[in-house]
Structure 1
């Protein structure tokens, strides 16, 4: 939106008209580090406590 050929062109008004934050125009997301991505994968692969208790309450969990 902010063109180099038009330095007086503001992004404030168009953002206000579109109800979006000005920071979202220039934000470039950064990728995660390999260590963080690996940790998130390992956490995501574990069954959650909520799923365990849902099975217990439904009587679907075998006796351990």
Structure 2
């Protein structure tokens, strides 16, 4: 094994792909992030959201 710290002098033992991780190709700015969230919410939210429990759970008719 050698002296203390010798392994640090030789270099990292991590694979090259881990050591040289590149940043993402593009970092979205705030406006782009808000637009992306709005587009995602359009898919997930129904056309008309219920505002009260009575609208969400109407009484059952028998």
Task: Tell me the TM-score normalised to structure 2 length.
Answer: 0.32
Task: Tell me the TM-score normalised to structure 1 length.
Answer: 0.32
Q: Which has the higher helix share?
A: 1
